[in-house]
Amino acid sequence: MVGVAVMLIIPVALTVTGILIFMTIVHDIRQGQSFRERLSARLAGLRLRRVLPRLGIDPHRYLYTHPIVDVEKQLRACESCDYLAQCDACLGKCSSEEMRFCPAINHS
């Protein structure tokens, strides 16, 4: 009798565990997407968005191909940058080598 009960409980427990794992994965994916959308909104308002192509980095893929820790550091460096006039003068015409002054580039 105990053996039959155990044989019934184990599949149910495994099924419930599988469902909980699946729900956790879905939640984590949604959280990650939401987090990246917030980072994308921050990036859109920064000069870093226009600097990335100068470095050969696709801004749309940037948030998915670079470690989030590095992205966050680069966003913060750009947000607190003291070289705005130099950056504005350089954007669109300077090479990546000429943009060495950029703290976001040098923060990775």
* Cβ contact 104:77 at 8 Å: yes
Shortest CA distance to 73 belongs to which of 108, 100, 99? 108
* pTM passes above 0.85: no
Q: Where are the domains of the chain?
A: 2-107
Determine how many CB atoms are found less than 10 A away from the CB of residue 22.
10
What pLDDT does residue 1 have?
63
Contact 57, 102 (CB under 8 A): no
Mean pLDDT, contiguous 10-residue spans, the chain (108 residues): 76 94 96 92 94 88 92 94 90 82 76
Half-sphere exposure (CA, 13 Å, Cβ side) for 6? 3
